[in-house]
Every structure is written in C-alpha cells, then in structure tokens.
C-alpha cells in the first residue's frame, strides 16, 4: 500500500521526523523556513495531510484552497486558534491537536512568569549585563513574594489545574473562573467564581489560561484590570489575543499593575515596542511548550492522530 504523504510545515524533533519518515512520505522543511501562504498552498499539492504548527495561519480562505486530496490537519499544538475549524468541517478535513502533553511544561513556565515578574528578574538581568550593577542596599531591586499570595486563574482546564497544583507549593490561595465549575474533588480547595467581578478584586496575581476564542478576545481589558488590587501582577502563557495589550501597557506604566510576565503576544514575533521600554515586564518568546520532553511528545501525539486517521479510526484528539 502506498504511504500517505504528509506535509510537515516546520522542522520537528529528530525522533519525530524519523518516525514520520518510516510511516509516511514526508515533505519536510529542513531549513525551518516560515512559508508564505502561497508557498504553503503550493507544498500541499501532493499532500494527503498537513502537520502544521501555530505559526501557519490556516484561515477559512486558505482551507478553502487546499487540494481535495488533503484529508487531515494534525496540528503540532494544543491551541487551534490559527486554524479555522468550521472551514475544515465544511471541507470534510479532520483536524486534531496535541492536548495533555504540554500541560506540565506550560504550567512550569507560568510559575516562571510569576516569579520572574514578582522578583524583577529581567530588570536585574539587564542591569548586570549592562555592567550597571554597582552596589547592594536594602532598597535595591525589591520585589514581592508569591508565597501565601492569592492567585486567580482564568480558565481552569488542564494547564490551569496544574498551575494551581504547583502554586500550592508556594502556599498560594487559589481562586478560579471557568465556564463550568470543576468537580469539587478536583478543586483541591480552589475557590470557584462564576464571574470575573467577584474574583478579580481578590487576585494578587492573575494567570490567564483560557483558550483564544471569539468570546475571550481582549478578555482582560481596562475595565477588568481596574478591578484587580493595586499592585497586582498579571501573567499570560495562553494566547496574546486574550489580553488587551494597550490596556495592559497603560496599567504597567501607571503603576496600577506592579508587573507582568508574558510568553504570548498579539502579533508574534513583532510585539508592541512599548513592552521593550517597560522595566516591570518579564518577557519570553512563546516558549511554554519548549522542552525537549514536550516537543517530542507533541510530535508523537500528532503522529498518533495521523495514524488513526489513515487507519480509518477516530483520532484521539479530534477538534473538527
């Protein structure tokens, strides 16, 4: 039987590409070049499936133009906001993602964002690298502790729940808002809020863990930031789209917020210049899932989904 052909849009970990090459005709991207839409469409001419990342914008228009032979889009990501699911459904293209395997890495990174923002990590690092560290004093580089603080989590899915678990190691009091309340035996003492109005005033630190959906665009806006305690800290390891960045920048400039820790932005990688000017923001370049363990596991999960699709089985992680 002929092996199906899979277009792999970006360079994947060695072991993942080796498994793919064993089981499929892989069209690889050894230089890891970001394809333009037209290039991507050209590459799909011979493909039965695409294995894209969140860097490929599979809008309704792009999906409409995919050749008929494309049967599946097996995303190498848990987030699928780059991919128009309704358009894929209309074309009868199966779409999958890679949940679960990113959870620990992303929760770990969320704790890093909290600590980095609260303890002024990038400000300190920049000072040293610029050769400007001249002295020590009791008032030097004073931040805040996260231990015993109140953490609010918006979006208590897999990553939110593990962030809460890790935060309990810092004896934080956990509050959360989610579309649905968790089963009480999964709450482990976390306090549920059915709206943001009751939760935000209680958050010393607010962590964004909700997916980017039409209803979560700019969810953290000026009005919501205003409801946080003065000097609160905001961290975002979900998607840039869920935060109104202008409102965030304004609050960081005014001192309404003490600090922010960000791994995701609206227009990656061309992020707003204002972030560069602010000392009280700890910035990382979308590396929530960037661990060797997780990047391998994401690839295997995407391949498991493709294997199921081409064997005529229902893939585990079907989202469309």
Other CB atoms within 10 Å distance of the CB of residue 127: 16
286 tagged catalytic: yes
Sheet containing 49-51: give its strands across: 25-27, 5-8, 49-51, 72-74, 94-96
187 tagged catalytic: no
Smallest separation, CB 242 to ligand DGY (Å) = 12
Q: Which of 65, 173, 268, 318 is catalytic?
A: 268
Smallest separation, CB 315 to ligand DGY (Å) = 16
Q: What is the size of the binding site for ligand DGY (CB under 6 A)?
A: 8
230 half-sphere exposure, CB direction, 13 A CA radius: 2
Question: What is the length of the chain?
Answer: 320
9 binds ligand DGY (CB under 6 A): no
In angstroms, rounded to a whole number, what is the distance separating the alpha carbons of residues 163 and 209?
A: 9
Q: Which residues, 6+ apart, have CB-to-CB distance to 256 below 8 Å? A: 225, 226, 228, 230, 250
Q: Are 166 and 172 in contact (CB under 8 A)?
A: no
Smallest separation, CB 64 to ligand DGY (Å) = 23
Smallest separation, CB 297 to ligand DGY (Å) = 11
Contact pick of 212, 289, 294, 305 for ligand DGY (by CB under 6 A): 289
Directed axis angle between helix 103-118 and helix 158-168, to 10°?
A: 50
Check residue 265 and give left, alpha or beta (phi > 0: left; psi -120 to 50: alpha).
beta
The smaller minimum CB distance to ligand DGY, of residues 79 and 155, is found at 79
239 tagged catalytic: yes
Contact pick of 19, 47, 51, 77 for ligand DGY (by CB under 6 A): 77
- Letters for 40-69 (x = contact with ligand DGY by CB under 6 A, - = none) are -------------xx---------------
Q: Which of 71, 286, 295, 301 is catalytic?
A: 286
* Tokens, residue 279: 């000392």
Contact pick of 79, 157, 261, 315 for ligand DGY (by CB under 6 A): 79
Contact pick of 51, 78, 111, 232 for ligand DGY (by CB under 6 A): 78
Smallest separation, CB 269 to ligand DGY (Å) = 13
DSSP per-residue letters across 245-272: HHHHHHHHHHTSEEEEEES--TTTTS--
Q: Which of 71, 119, 239, 301 is catalytic?
A: 239
The smaller minimum CB distance to ligand DGY, of residues 102 and 118, is found at 102
In angstroms, rounded to a whole number, what is the distance separating the alpha carbons of residues 205 and 50?
A: 39
Smallest separation, CB 224 to ligand DGY (Å) = 23
The smaller minimum CB distance to ligand DGY, of residues 48 and 81, is found at 81
In angstroms, rounded to a whole number, what is the distance separating the alpha carbons of residues 159 and 157?
A: 6
Q: Is the dihedral of CA 199, 205, 209, 210 positive or negative?
A: positive
The smaller minimum CB distance to ligand DGY, of residues 249 and 297, is found at 297
Contact pick of 40, 102, 208, 257 for ligand DGY (by CB under 6 A): 102
Enumerate the active-site residues: 239, 268, 286
Give the binding site for ligand DGY (CB under 6 A): 53-54, 77-79, 102, 288-289
């Amino acid at each position: 039987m002929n092996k199906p052909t899979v277009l792999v849009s970006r360079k994947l970990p060695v072991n993942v590409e080796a498994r793919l090459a064993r089981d499929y005709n892989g069209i690889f991207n050894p230089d890891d070049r970001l394809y333009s839409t037209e290039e991507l469409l050209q590459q799909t001419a011979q493909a039965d499936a695409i294995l894209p990342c969140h860097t490929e914008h599979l809008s309704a228009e792009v999906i409409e133009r995919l050749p008929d032979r494309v049967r599946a889009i097996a995303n190498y990501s848990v987030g699928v906001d780059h991919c128009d699911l309704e358009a894929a459904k209309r074309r009868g293209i199966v779409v999958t993602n890679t949940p679960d395997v990113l959870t620990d890495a992303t929760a770990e990174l969320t704790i890093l964002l909290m600590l980095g923002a609260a303890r002024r990590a990038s400000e300190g690092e920049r000072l040293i690298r610029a050769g400007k560290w001249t002295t020590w004093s009791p008032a030097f580089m004073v931040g805040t502790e996260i231990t015993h603080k109140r953490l609010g989590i918006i979006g208590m899915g897999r990553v939110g729940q593990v962030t809460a678990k890790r935060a309990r190691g810092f004896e934080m009091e956990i509050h959360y808002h989610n579309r649905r309340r968790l089963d009480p035996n999964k709450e482990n003492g976390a306090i549920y809020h059915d709206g943001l109005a009751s939760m935000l005033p209680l958050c010393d630190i607010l962590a964004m863990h909700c997916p980017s959906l039409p209803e979560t665009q700019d969810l953290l806006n000026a009005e919501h930031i205003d409801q946080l305690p003065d000097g609160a800290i905001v961290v975002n390891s979900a998607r840039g789209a869920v935060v109104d960045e202008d409102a965030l920048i304004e609050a960081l400039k005014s001192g309404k917020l003490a600090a922010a820790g960000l791994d995701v932005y609206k227009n990656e990688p061309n992020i707003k210049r204002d972030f560069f000017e602010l000392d009280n923001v700890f910035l990382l370049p979308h590396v929530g899932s960037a661990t060797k363990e997780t990047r391998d596991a994401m690839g295997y999960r995407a391949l498991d989904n493709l294997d199921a699709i081409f064997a005529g089985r229902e893939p585990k992680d079907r989202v469309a």
